[in-house]
Structure 1
Amino acid sequence: MQTSATHTNVDQAELAKFSDLAHRWWDPESEFRPLHQINPLRLEWINSIAPLQGKKVLDVGCGGGILTDAMARSGAQALGIDLATKSLKVAQLHALEAQTPNVQYREVAVEALAAEQPASFDVVTCMEMLEHVPDPSSIVRACARLVKPGGYVFFSTLNRNAKSFLFAIVGAEYVLNMLPRGTHEYAKFIRPSELARDCREAGLEWQHTRGMEYNPLTRRYWLSADTSVNYLVATQRPL
């Protein structure tokens, strides 16, 4: 049984924001279009480092299950967790309608799950979530505890600098209207050096980093070496 303590590392305003949009998660032309567009890139990168076939994977902050569903369809036994009830219900409904194999969803805090099922997953993903919680380091520690020795933990988030403010907030939210205004708070963005410190303190070894770029004219995303705005990190728990 969860106690109220498991919900301390959550911003209620953030939960409400995504809950209000929950019914639009699986509309590829909605506010979540960027997630649908980048999902194949994320999935391919994860799969290239930690092949998902036959693996037990956890998607932390899964929202409507866009990545969770894709990992299950890649052969993984996937569990998606979130604290946004409406988003989880949308994820569960989509899994039923699409008959996605080997996927489950739970409303549970990652810290609570880490206490319940330590060292249980081959792969843990936490994508586009760290910049939405009060204490990102707590999430990192929980992910590190959940992964098996030798397993991989993947993070993606937003760098904190003038360029990321211009691109991720001014450009994406106010000029191009790719995201609803207020989606991100610049102060919550996380520099790679800060995330690296949290990973190191949690016992995770920093293995690979990639940046994600976007061309508004072609509407195309791609992975690159430029981590100045969006970036992805692969870490590993030592054996």
Structure 2
Amino acid sequence: MGANTLGIDASESNIAIASLHASADPGLDVTSSSLSLSTPPESSGAKGKGRLLYENTSVEDLLAQRGPASFDVVCSMEVLEHVDNPRAFLDSCAQLVKPGGHLFLSTIARNPFSYFLTIFAAEKLLRLVEPGTHTYTKYVNPSEVISFFQAYRSQDEHGTPWIGRLANGVPARIEAETRGMIYVPWDAEWRLSRRGEGWSEYCNYLIWK
């Protein structure tokens, strides 16, 4: 869609695989490491294409390198449930967002149902996922992420909380939203649940702030 995009991963091999996949997409300009996302498109012959740059780094190191308020949109998909310090990770992601920008996270809730689906069934029984991929104690519930952003303060001079008061445990729709992600096997696709369907957040879910 013409956006300048930076993809990061702490694994060098993951970056190599992602770069290989992206190079096969004619709609992308996979920018070399010698160019930055701010380089004019004509410099790489990619006018009209979305520009994609990959870096082998962590979000903490990216924050130290780029500084706060560096990105309009920050996405962290299926990462939070693998980190050792989720609060520090969320803090780094939040700091990277420009004022008025957006943060998208997806992760897995912590409860017996999610354990059954993602570890017992997917890893141990069906072997759809490499055993040991997930650690149940690292799963994070939606309410815990919401609580973090209630306490988190914006980087501007006002230092306002990212999420104000809750109504029945739910933030105002203009401040944040959580939605469950459900796999529909007969259609072989993932679907985003409707607002207010709390039961759908018992396993995989998405949060926007």
Q: 1:95 to 1:219 in 2, by over 3 A?
A: closer
Number of the residue aligned with 1:221: 190
Secondary structure of the structure 2 residue equivalent to 1:169: helix
The equivalent position to 2:124 in structure 1, one of 143, 158, 174, is 174
> Paired residue for 2:13?
86
Give unmatched runs, 5+ long, in structure 2: 30-50, 154-161, 164-174
Query: For 2:76 and 2:126, how far apart are their aligned partners in 1?
Result: 26
CA root-mean-square deviation = 1.7
Q: CA deviation at 1:158?
A: 0.4
**Aligned residue type for 2:101:** G
Deviates more, 1:143-152 or 1:90-99: 90-99
After TM superposition, the structure 1 = structure 2 runs for residues 148-227 of structure 1, keeping only pairs within 5 Å, are 148-203=98-153, 204-205=162-163, 206-224=175-193, 225=197, 226-227=200-201
* Other structure's SS at 1:126 match: strand
Which consecutive residues of structure 1, in runs of 5 or more, have no partner in the other structure? 1-73
Residue 168 of structure 1 deviates from its aligned partner by 1.5
- TM (normalized to structure 1)? 0.63
CA displacement, residues 190-223 of structure 1 (integer Å, 9 cap, x when unaligned): 1112111222333333511110112345433211
Pairs within 5 Å for 1:42-61: none
Decide whether the 8 Å contact of 2:142 with 2:178 is kept in 1.
no
Distance 1:75 1:200 in 2: 33
Per the normalisation by structure 2, the TM-score is 0.71
Shift of 1:86: 0.8
User: Match of 1:207, as an amino acid?
Assistant: A
Query: Retained in 2: the 8 A contact 1:120–1:148?
Result: yes
- Residue 177 of structure 1: SS of its match in structure 2? coil
Work out the CA distance in 2 between the residues paired with 1:95 and 1:87: 12
For residues 139-150 of structure 1, what are the structure 2 equivalents within 5 Å? 139-150=89-100
Which of residues 112, 124, 127 in structure 1 aligns to 2:77? Answer: 127
Structure having the higher Rg: 2
CA distance in 1, matches of 2:76, 2:149: 13
Per-residue CA deviations over 1:159-194 (Å, capped at 9, x if unaligned) read 001111111211222333332222111111111121
CA distance in structure 2 between the aligned counterparts of 1:172 and 1:212, rounded to whole angstroms: 16
Q: Secondary structure at the match of 2:176?
A: strand
1:91-141 deviation per Cα after TM superposition (whole angstroms, max 9, x unaligned): 223333334230001112211221332211110001100111100111111
Please tell me the residue identity of whatever aligns with 1:104.
Answer: L
Find the aligned partners of 2:182 and 2:21 in 1 and give their Cα distance: 29
**Alpha-carbon spacing, 1:218–1:173, altered in 2? closer, same or farther (3 Å):** farther
Give the secondary structure class of the aligned counterpart of 1:160: coil
Q: Structure 1 vs Structure 2: percent identity of aligned residues?
A: 41
Structure number with higher helix proportion: 1
Equivalences, count = 162
